[in-house]
Amino acid sequence: MSVPGSKVAVVEAVQGRLDELGTPLSETTFVVFDLETTGGSAAENAITEIGAVKIRGGEVLGEFATLVDPGGPIPPFITVLTGITDAMVMAAPRIESVLPSFLEFAYGSVLVAHNASFDMGFVKAACAAHGYPPPANPVVDTVDLARRALTRDEAPNCKLATLARVLGSRTEPSHRALADARATVDVLHALIERVGSFGVHTLEELKGFVRAPTPEQQRKRHLADAVPGEPGVYVFEDGDGHVLYVGKSTSLRTRVRSYFTASETRTRIREMIGIAERVRTIVCATPLEAEVRELRLIAENKPRYNRRSRFPEKVVWLKLTAEVFPRLSVVRELKDDGAAYLGPFSSARNAEYARDALHESVPLRRCTDRITLRKGRAACVLFEIGRCGAPCEGRQSAEEYASHVKVAREAMESDVRPVERAVQARIDLLSAELRYEEAAEDRDRLASYVRTAARMQRLAALSGLTELVAARPAFAGGWELHVIRYGRLAASGVMPRGAHPALYVEALTATAETVPPGAGPTPRASAEETDVILRWLVSPGVRLVQVDGTWSEPAHGAGRLKARLDAAYPRADPGGPRTPREGRPLR
């Protein structure tokens, strides 16, 4: 009913466009940032530089850049990498002064970083340390975006330098925060253009695009249909039966299914899914059996998509040769020839470090010629400086030389004190003469020797046992039982709750793999396998049931010194020796 003379407002309903259902990327404000730090751990290291660029619609709205005083010395290898020195940050503000300004600069925007988990980890750690709530900004990682938008043929990896080159960035990354942030801006713009062809035009679509499973993952979900839910090992194979990837899990079905979901974002694994045609599973009685089987399958098949594929032939050993006048030699094979071995080392360099440490304490010959009692040659300069008794020239008898060989063998197998004393004396002398770089080299040699000797002595103690049976309470009740022979897992089983243990132990040992003794500290299993077993043996709740032999480590072995070295030498290179912390002496 209408009232005469009144005006009626007519409102037309208009259906919104699809691109209005989200935030268009052209209207989204991004703050692209990068950090330089003193190391890789947010818990132990500090920020040295922050660089950020604010952009919207392809235009730069502002930049933020500052050095930050980390509150301590910058490690030399970080200075080499970034060019940031202690002198440069001496007058810089501390993070508690910089953080509020950065948070204000980033307020209301979408944070973007290359490998965002690293940079955000440091930002969150700084916020927690100084009483600020962690940033609630949405976060976009250009690494994840590149993995979805680019193929391996276009970009062999997702490093910032690689993407900047491939995508034509105007700025070359240089491990300085603002320059890297500018390069990341160019990479982000190029990737946004690329994903536009996939129908990605809003921020919500961009985030969903990164999380979405690939068509290959969706198409091959059926490979997980028949996978059981028990613990064990799973093996991805191609159409010809070649092993592509090996993994383990306490629930095979749950783990294998995760490879076909959006949570699996690793480029190499998504590539592997595209090749895989079947998943083979091996159900295991216990998690320890699954872990050991995984190690053995990786070592046997060397799957191309396992990052940690084992190559036993690439490890090296330090060998005290079995001859009239033995010497220390770096070798790749263990032989049952009566020689003493130290290892395994991950690289020849680390083996040479340990050899240098032993040579510092024991005057063994360093020539490679074979010396016999009847054949000799002229002595080298080591004799002149008192570092060798010149058995090659007949100046030292086999009996006299044997006393040095005995010390070297004991230093490798049971008593590290002579090496520790000799190397420490040289370190003290070099330090007193202000020759710190040379002293650091000697500390690296001592660390490589001690760490490897400690590990080998632990492995050799277990590998020397004819048989060990141990048990641990199972998660679902009962007991996990394992039979270990010469450091190798020979049998696994689960004893139900209330069962008679003697009968189960007798049955398990009777059906266990027959393992004969062999040469070397790890004769019948890889060092990795024996390491895994040792970790299980010292885990909470483990009980020793039977031990055939004496399980002990040498009283003067390397274990007592290793803890001190680990505290004094934070590892800078995971595969190499440790570098000393500033101001922390060895003793």
The one catalytic residue in 114, 130, 175, 242 is 175
Please, which residues bridge with residue 489 across strands? 484
Type of residue numbered 346: S
Task: For 537-560, give the secondary structure using H, E and C.
Answer: HCCCCCEEEEEECCCCCCCCCCHH
Q: Quick one: angle between helices 177-196 and 142-149, nearest 10?
A: 30
Helix (H) or strand (E) holding 279: strand 278-283
Answer whether 466's CB lies under 8 Å from 548's CB: yes
Alpha-carbon distance 210 to 386, whole Å?
A: 66
Cα angle: 268, vertex 269, 274; to 5 degrees = 100
Helix, strand, coil % over all residues of the chain, rounded to 5: 40, 15, 40
User: Which of 75, 184, 202, 189 is closest to 119 using CA atoms?
Assistant: 184
Our CA dihedral for 528, 532, 534, 537, rounded to 10 degrees, sits at: -170
DSSP state letter for 275:
H
Alpha-carbon distance 340 to 359, whole Å?
A: 15
Q: Is there a catalytic annotation at residue 175?
A: yes
User: Which of 149, 99, 142, 92 is closest to 124 using CA atoms?
Assistant: 99
C-alpha to C-alpha distances, 145 to 12, 27, 139, 141, 532, nearest whole angstrom: 41, 19, 12, 6, 36
Task: For 346-385, give the secondary structure using H, E and C.
Answer: CCHHHHHHHHHHHHHHCCCCCCCCCCCCCCCCCCCHHHHC
The encoded tokens of residue 166 equal 């491939």
Q: Which residues have a catalytic role annotated?
A: 175
